[in-house]
Amino acid sequence: MMRASLLALSLLAATPAAAANLVIEPVVVPEMKAVFGRVESRTVTPARARIGGTVREIRVTEGSQVRKDDVIAVVVDDKIAIEMSAAEARIKALDSQMTNARTELGRAKQLLERGVAAQSRLDEAQTAYDVIVNQVAAAQAEKAVIEQRAREGNVLAPASGRVLTVPLTVGSVVLAGEEIARIASGGYFLRLSLPERHASEIEEGQAVQIGQRGLSPAQAAQVGAAKEGRVAKVYPEIEEGRVIADVEVTTLGDYFVGERTLVRIPVGKRSVIAVPPGAIKTVHGIDYVRIAGEAGEQDVAVIIGEPVTIDGAERIEILTGLHAGDQVVLP
């Protein structure tokens, strides 16, 4: 009994697994076009000098990360120090005059109380004292304006982001409003330029495949393996036979502005014949697919194309060798 059971088990183990047949039917898939997308910043804000003068210090370089209101450079106007000294000297002179006017006002009050001076003298002393007080206030306000101008020598970052360019060097003479640095802020996106024949096929919201960084042919074959984006905007104007589209990608923070990367975008649809990767076997450099027919199973030479995804499953496109209705034998 035991020998018979072992013999039956050995026969079952030696029997090949039953094969399944896949009936070939054309499937409509998106037609993908590979293009280069250029990384752009949503906003590029210039940091400008608020006063004219000489650049005394630059605290950032190209590529530096800055936060809003960080001091990125210092502009110094030598005339401000002279104006500040003049304002302080004027305030000291007015303080002395105010002290004298206060003394004269007190003396006029005493003389009026003793009856040896007229009321008009007291009024004159009071008026002179009030004039000096107002002159001191005006001088102090002028000094505050000069101090504010000195503080405005600090060039502040207008927004948080990455410094793109710093066109000046220490010692450069600048005017008020001149650009000290350009800062990319607000996030990045990809800008695509496609031939105008695809304009009617590109729609907002379409999913696109973003390739890995680099422009080599080896990396071109890996397009779509890195990340996915969506068409955010299609511009209505065609420039020099090209239609422009913007692609939103959530993970472009480490890219350089102006860097190019490979993108595959759907520009139409086509009908394909595709089989699972396991149905293809390669012998001496030639690809074969086994099909079942009235005469039995036979291997048919095929030419394969690009991988495609159908209903979430990976398939290999068959360019020639198979037809609709063929029964492919799957292992």
pLDDT in tens, 122-158: 888 889 899 999 999 999 999 999 999 889 999 999 9
48-75+153-183 belongs to which CATH class?
mainly beta
pLDDT greater than 80 at residue 11: no
pLDDT at 322 over 60: yes
Helical H runs in the chain?
Answer: 2-14, 78-114, 119-151, 217-220
Separation between Cα atoms, residue 130 and residue 118, nearest integer Å: 19
C-alpha count within 13 angstroms, C-beta hemisphere, residue 216: 3
Average pLDDT over residues 146-174: 91
Closest by Cα among 294, 68, 297, 75 to 186: 68
For 48-103, the pLDDT digits (tens) are: 999 999 999 999 998 888 999 999 999 999 888 899 999 999 999 999 999 998 89
- Token pair for 230: 């969506």
User: Measuring CA to CA, which residue among 74, 39, 36, 82 is closest to residue 215?
Assistant: 36
The matching CATH number, chosen from 3.40.50.620, 2.40.30.170, 3.20.20.70, 1.10.10.10, for 29-43+187-268 is 2.40.30.170
C-beta of residue 52 within 8 angstroms of C-beta of residue 175? yes
pLDDT over 70 at 19, yes or no? no
pLDDT tens per residue, range 219-230: 544 544 557 888
Of the two residues 3 and 202, the one the predictor is more confident about is 202
pLDDT surpassing 70 at residue 13: no
Cα–Cα separations (whole angstroms), residue 58 to 71, 79, 156, 182, 187:
9, 21, 11, 13, 25
Q: Would you call 192 exposed, middle or buried from its count of C-beta atoms within 10 A (0-12, 13-18, 19+)? A: buried
Task: Find the mean pLDDT for residues 195-201.
Answer: 84
